[in-house]
């Protein structure tokens, strides 16, 4: 059975690691490379970096911080944000990233996914899917809608249909963020995540809402995801990656890469 992954998520704004709540009000929390190295030492399977300023301010991806991360990090890492062209894919991979994630550019021109998969392989093409629920007059969720530009603009696309199309075009995995739950620490949107995992055959990574060990367990069981992104719990020192993996390992129902050593560095 494939091991489930724990992936720390680090937002980057102006070359600094920051933390958002619902994609707003960033607080500086440190250096991207140093944070990534810290989480790798705790047992992280991968690290995901989101360059929010590149998306919001429409500037080019800044490669200096990516190269700095690549020099210090010994686990795979992804870079999401500001990727618009095949040349952007190429430059970010050359800077040292293992995977590249796209949201806005893929919505604007879906063929980018196919072009990138053909050149670099599906394994390094990540669809970043930011979604919000759409409700009827009875306040029931009838679907989820895709948002772009770091969750600021509605695309009108149905999240499940877009995920299926992205898989057909060449996306190798999907990072799905529930915008309403991002940074709120009230649990992942497992209904959305289960709808996604039922609809596609590529790995789905849960993002947005981890506030406890139980939330992480629940998204693997209820959402049937392949990996869980964790941010606030780690950034504010409430848990380590080792704590999370030890908890999941001890439960005995969720397979993780777990080494019972002194990796629980805080």
Prediction pTM value: 0.92
Q: What are the catalytic residues?
A: 11, 130
Task: Tell me the pLDDT tens digit for each residue of 33-45.
Answer: 999 999 999 999 9
Q: What are the residues facing 230 on neighbouring strands?
A: 8
Q: How many CA atoms lie within 13 A of 148 on its CB side?
A: 19
Q: Which domains does the chain have, with CATH numbers?
A: 5-251 (3.20.20.70)
pLDDT value of residue 158: 96
Per-residue model confidence (pLDDT) at position 264: 46
Q: Assess whether pLDDT exceeds 80 at residue 262.
A: no
Average pLDDT over residues 225-243: 95
Alpha-carbon distance of 10 to 108, in angstroms, equals: 25
Could you report the per-residue pLDDT of 172-228, keeping only the tens digit for each? 999 999 988 887 889 999 999 999 999 999 999 999 999 999 999 999 999 999 999
Q: Which backbone phi and psi does 55 adopt, to 5 degrees? A: -75, -50
Of 98, 103, 102, 109, the residue nearest 76 (C-alpha): 98
């Amino acid at each position: 059975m494939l091991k489930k992954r724990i992936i720390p998520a680090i937002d980057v704004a102006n070359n600094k690691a920051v933390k958002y709540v619902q994609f707003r009000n960033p607080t500086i929390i440190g250096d991207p490379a140093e944070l990534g190295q810290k989480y790798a030492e705790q047992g992280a399977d991968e690290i995901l970096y989101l360059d929010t300023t590149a998306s919001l301010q429409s500037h080019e991806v800044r490669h200096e911080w990516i190269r700095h991360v690549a020099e210090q990090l010994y686990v795979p890492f992804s870079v999401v944000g500001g990727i618009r062209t095949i040349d952007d894919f190429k430059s970010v991979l050359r800077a040292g990233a293992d995977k590249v994630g796209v949201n806005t550019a893929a919505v604007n021109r879906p063929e980018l996914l196919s072009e990138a998969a053909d050149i670099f392989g599906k394994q390094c093409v990540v669809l970043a899917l930011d979604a919000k629920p759409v409700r009827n007059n009875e306040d029931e969720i009838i679907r989820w809608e895709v948002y772009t530009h770091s969750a600021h603009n509605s695309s009108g696309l149905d999240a499940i249909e877009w995920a299926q199309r992205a898989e057909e075009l060449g996306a190798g995995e999907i990072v799905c963020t529930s915008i309403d739950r991002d940074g709120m620490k009230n649990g992942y949107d497992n209904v959305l995540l289960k709808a996604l995992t039922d609809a596609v055959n590529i790995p789905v990574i849960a993002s947005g809402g981890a506030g406890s060990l139980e939330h992480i367990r629940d998204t693997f069981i209820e959402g049937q995801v392949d990996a869980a992104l964790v941010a606030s719990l780690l950034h504010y020192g409430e848990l380590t990656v080792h704590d999370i993996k030890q908890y999941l390992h001890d439960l005995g129902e969720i397979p993780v890469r777990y080494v019972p050593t002194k990796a629980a560095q805080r």
